[in-house]
Amino acid sequence: MSSDQRPKETQPNFGFEDDLLTLPDQKLERPKMYKVVLNNDDYTPMEFVIHVLQKFFRKNEGEAMQIMLLVHKTGKGVAGTFPFSIAETKVRQVSDFSRQHGYPLLITLEQE
Ligand code: TYC
Question: The CATH number of the domain where 41 resides is what?
Answer: 3.30.1390.10
Residue 35 Cα to ligand 1 midpoint, Å, equals: 19
pLDDT at position 1 is 38
Q: How many domains does the chain have?
A: 1
Residue 29 Cα to ligand 1 midpoint, Å, equals: 37
pLDDT at position 76 is 98
pTM of the model: 0.80
- 106-111 sheet: strands from edge to edge: 76-83, 33-39, 106-111
Cα–Cα dist 68/62, whole Å: 10
Residues of the domain holding 93: 29-111
The three-point CA angle 52-58-64 to 5° equals: 55
Residue whose CA lies nearest to ligand 1 atom number 4: 42
pLDDT at position 28 is 87
Q: Is residue 5 part of a domain?
A: no
Q: What digits encode the pLDDT tens for the residues 4-63? A: 665 555 555 555 555 666 667 788 899 999 999 999 999 999 999 999 999 999 999 999
